[in-house]
Chains A and B, each alone.
Chain A
Amino acid sequence: MALLQIAEPGMSTAPHEHRLAVGIDLGTTNSLVATVRNGIAVVLNDDHGRALLPSVVRYHADGATSVGYEAQARQGDDPHNTVVSAKRFMGRGLKDIADAATMPYRFVDAPGMVQLKTAAGVKSPVEVSAEILKVLKARAEAALGGELMGAVITVPAYFDDAQRQATKDAARLAGLNVLRLLNEPTAAAIAYGLDNGAEGIYAVYDLGGGTFDISILRLTRGVFEVLATNGDSALGGDDFDRRIYCWVLEQAGLKVIDDHDKALLLAKAREAKEMLTEHPEVKVTAVLSTGEFIDLDLTEAQFNAMTASLVNKTLVPTRRALRDAGLEPADVKGVVMVGGSTRVPRIQAAVGEFFGQTPLTNLDPDRVVALGAAIQANVLAGNRQEDDWLLLDVVPLSLGLETMGGLVEKIIPRNATIPTARAQEFTTFKDGQTAMAVHVVQGERELVADCRSLARFELRGIPPMVAGAARIRVTFQVDADGLLSVSARELSTGVEAHIEVKPSYGLTDDEVARMLRDSYDHAREDMSARQLAELKVDGQRLVEATEIALAENGAELLDAEEREEIENLIAALKKALEGDVPQAIKRATEALNKGTVEFAARRMDLSVKKALTGHKIEELDV
C-alpha cells in the first residue's frame, strides 16, 4: 500500500500547483482586486459583498488608518486627514498639481514628490497608496486562503517613469511581489479580446477618476500589440466634478468656504454627475456649516456645456495616438470604453462621433481593468502552460538626456516596444574635464525645462583629455514594467567608470526603509520577522523555479558534474530555508542565482533555437 504524503506546513508541494496571483486596479477613485478561479476571472468582494474599494484613506490621531467606504463617509467632517485621489499625487511635485488650491489638504512640498500633513504625521502618496493595497491584499488572502505569490498592478498607460516607480514602491511597501506593472488600457484589451475573440485594430478609451489614456492595439490570434498610446495623466472624472463644484459656488454666490464645505460640495457635485447619467435634470442640495442652504437645479444640457472643453481635451491625444499608429479613425474596428467616467452620455456620444461607430460598453467599465490584470497575473505566475498569448506594450513618452543649451536629446522615442534599450555616445566639452553630469528627462518637448526631470547623476573618473576626445556611452534600458535604468561608461581609454542609476522622484532608499519601519511599528509587526519571511518566500521561489528548469532541460543541457553542482546549491538553499538565519538564506539564494547563470543562458539559447526551427518548419508547410 502506498503511503500518503503529507507536506510540511508552509512548504510548497508539487512544482505545478496553482499559485495564488491577483490583478489589482489601483484607481484614482476606486480600487479593485481580481483573480482567476477555475479558469474564470472574478472580482473579489469585501465582507459586505462590495467589489469597489473607494481609494480613500483616513489617518487617525492615534496613528491608525481606515480605508474605503468607512474613510469616505468621514470625508466631510475630517477633510484634512482623509486623502482621496492620492493617485493624482504619485510621483508629482506640488507645482504639478494644478488645482491644489481647491483641495482641502495641507500639502508639504518635499523634493520630488509632494507629501501631506495628517493627524498621523506627514504622509507620502506612496504610503497612502500602500494602505489601499494592503487592504486589497488582505481581502485576497482571506478569499483565496493563502499567501499571494504575486500581483499585477495596473497603471495608466500615460504614467511617466516617476509615477510608475512610485506605484511599484507602494506595492513593495504593502508587501506585494509585483509580477508586472500593466497598462490599464492593455489590461482592458486582454479582458475584452479574450472574451470576444476580437481581431483587428481596437482603440481603448480609458477615462478614469484622474487620468485619461487612449491606446491603439492590434489584436491577432494570441497577440496583443500596442501600436501607440497617448493621454493626459491629469485629466479625469474629478475634473468633471470640479466643473460642477465651481458652478455651484458661482450660482450660490459663495466666495470663501471652509475645507469642510469644500469636501461636502465636491461630494455633492460628484453625486449630481452620476445622477445625470440616468436623469435629464438633477437637484443639488446641501446645508453648509454656516447654516446656508444650497438648492440648485442642474440640467444635462448645462452639464454638457460646462464640460465640453474637457471632452474635447480627450480627443486631442486620441488623434495623436492614431497618427502615431499611422491609422485613420475608419481603420478602427471597435472602441472599448473603460473607466467609470465613460458612463457620461456626452462622452460616449463624442467618442462615437469621432470614430464613426457606437463604442463598446458590454463590459463593466469599472471592472474590466482588474479582470484583465487578473488574467495576466495568472499567466505570469506560471499557472498556464499552453495557449498563452503575447503582450507587446510600449513606452508612452520619449526618454532623453539634457545636452548643451538645455536641449533634449531623445534616446528612446515614444511608442517604442518594451523592453527596449538604446545607447548614445557623448563627449566632453572642456579640456581636462573629468566628470560629466547626466540629466535624464522624459517628455516630447525640445527644451529640458518643458520635460519631466527623472534623475541626475555624475559620471566621475573620466581621464583628463582634450575636449571632444573622451567617448562616453550612455545606455537607457526600459524593462517590461516600463521602468527605466540608465548606465554610463567612458570608452576611449579602456578606463571604465560605470554607474547605474534608477530614476527616482526624490524618495531615497533610506526614506523607503523609513516608511517600511513606520508601517511595521504601527502594525506591531516585527520588521526582522517580516524580512525573514520575505527572504524565505524568495528562496523558496528560486528553488521551485530551478527544479522546474532542471526537470525540463537538465538532462540535455548539463553534464553530470554541472547538474550535481546545481543540485548541491539547491540542497544548500533548502537547508538554509529550514533554519531562521536571514544571512544564511540570503547567501544560499545568491549562490544558487550565481550558480545557474550558465544554465539559464543555455536554456535561453535553446528557446531561441526552438523559435527559429519552429518558424522554418511552418515555412516548409506552406
Chain B
Amino acid sequence: MPHDFSRNHFELFGLPPRFGLDAAALEHAYRGMQAEVHPDRYAHAGEAEKRLSMQWATRVNEAYQTLRRPFERARYLLELQGIHAMDPNNTAMPPDFLMQQMEWREALEEARSGRDLGALQRLEQSLRAVAQALQTELEGLLDERHDYAQAAEVLRKYRFMEKLLAEIDAAYEDIE
C-alpha cells in the first residue's frame, strides 16, 4: 500500500474537519491534487506509477465526492467520531416528523397525478427551505456544539428530505 493512504478526506485536502466548508477552497484543493496524481499525468510512466496514480486519483475523487455533498460530508464527520448515523438499527424518528413526511408525500402524489407543475414547484420550494434549515442546524451541532448524537438524528431527517427532493425530480420528468 502507498504510504499516505491513511489520511482522512479533510487532511488529504488540507482542510479543517468542519461541516461548514468553503466550497471554493475544496474545489481548488481537489483540482490541485488531481493535477498531481491523475492518470493522464502518468500515461507514459512505468507500470508501478500508473497503478499508483489510478489508486490515488480514485482516492482523491472519493474524498471530493464525499466532502462536496452536505449529506455525505456530515455522515463522514460522524463516522470520524465513530457514529454510524445510517446504521439500519438507528431508525428512530420523531412521530411529528414522520407525519409531516406523509403529508408532503401526499402533496407530491397529488401534484404528479394532476400534472400540476405549479403545485410541484411550490412544494419543491418549501422542501428546499426545510432542507436548508436542517443544514444550518447540522452545522451548529457538528461544528459548534459537537453534539454528535443529535446531529445524527438531524442527518437522518435530512436524508428523508433528499429522498423526497429526488422524487420531485422524477415527478418533473413524468409531467414533462
Contact = CB atoms under 8 A, between A and B. Distances in A.
A542 B45 CA distance: 7
Contacts of A319: 176
B46 interface: yes
A600 B57 contact: no
A489 to B, nearest CB: 16
A596 B48 contact: yes
Given A420-B58, A541-B44, A601 B39 contact: no
Interface string B5-45: 00000001110000000000100110111111111110111
A390 interface: yes
B82 interface: no
Contact of A323 (B2, B28, B54, B173): B173
Contacts of A603: 49
| Residue among B29, B33, B39, B45 having the largest count of chain A Cβ atoms under 10 Å | B45
A611 B32 contact: yes
Contacts of A604: 2, 37, 49, 52-53, 56
A223 B31 contact: yes
Interface string B53-87: 11011100110110000000000000000000000
A608 B45 contact: no
A600 B4 contact: no
Contacts of B47: 542, 593
A612 B54 contact: no
A357 to B, nearest CB: 21
Interface stretch (A73-81, A120-128, A292-300, A377-385): A377-385
A616 interface: yes
B169 interface: yes
A546 interface: yes
A249 interface: no
A611 B37 CA distance: 9
B14 A615 contact: yes
Contacts of B53: 604
Nearest to A383: B44
User: What bracket does the count of chain B residues touching chain A fall in?
Assistant: 35 or more
Nearest to A542: B46
A600 B28 contact: no
A150 to B, nearest CB: 8
Contacts of A150: 43-44
B151 to A, nearest CB: 25
A604 B36 CA distance: 8
A416 to B, nearest CB: 7
A497 interface: no
A382 B44 contact: yes
Given A480-B54, A604-B37, A608-B33, A179 B61 contact: no
B172 to A, nearest CB: 8
Contacts of A382: 43-44
| Residue among B32, B34, B38, B47 having the largest count of chain A Cβ atoms under 10 Å | B47
Contacts of A19: 44
B163 interface: no
B122 interface: no
A610 interface: yes
Given A323-B173, A421-B62, A605 B4 contact: yes
A523 interface: no
Contact of A616 (B2, B14, B43, B176): B14
Nearest to B15: A615
| Residue among B13, B34, B57, B58 having the largest count of chain A Cβ atoms under 10 Å | B58
A545 B14 contact: no
Contacts of A611: 29, 32-33, 35-37
B130 to A, nearest CB: 19
Given A223-B31, A392-B34, A419-B54, A605 B44 contact: no
Given A418-B61, A419-B39, A549-B45, 10 more contacts: A179-B44, A223-B31, A380-B43, A416-B61, A416-B65, A480-B40, A604-B56, A608-B4, A608-B12, A612-B14
30 contacts: A381-B44, A382-B43, A388-B41, A390-B31, A392-B34, A417-B65, A419-B39, A419-B57, A419-B61, A421-B62, A477-B54, A479-B39, A480-B38, A480-B39, A541-B44, A542-B46, A545-B49, A596-B46, A596-B48, A600-B46, A600-B48, A601-B3, A604-B49, A604-B53, A608-B12, A608-B37, A610-B36, A611-B33, A611-B36, A615-B28
The 6 closest A-B pairs by CB, nearest first: A380-B43, A600-B48, A480-B39, A607-B36, A382-B44, A611-B36
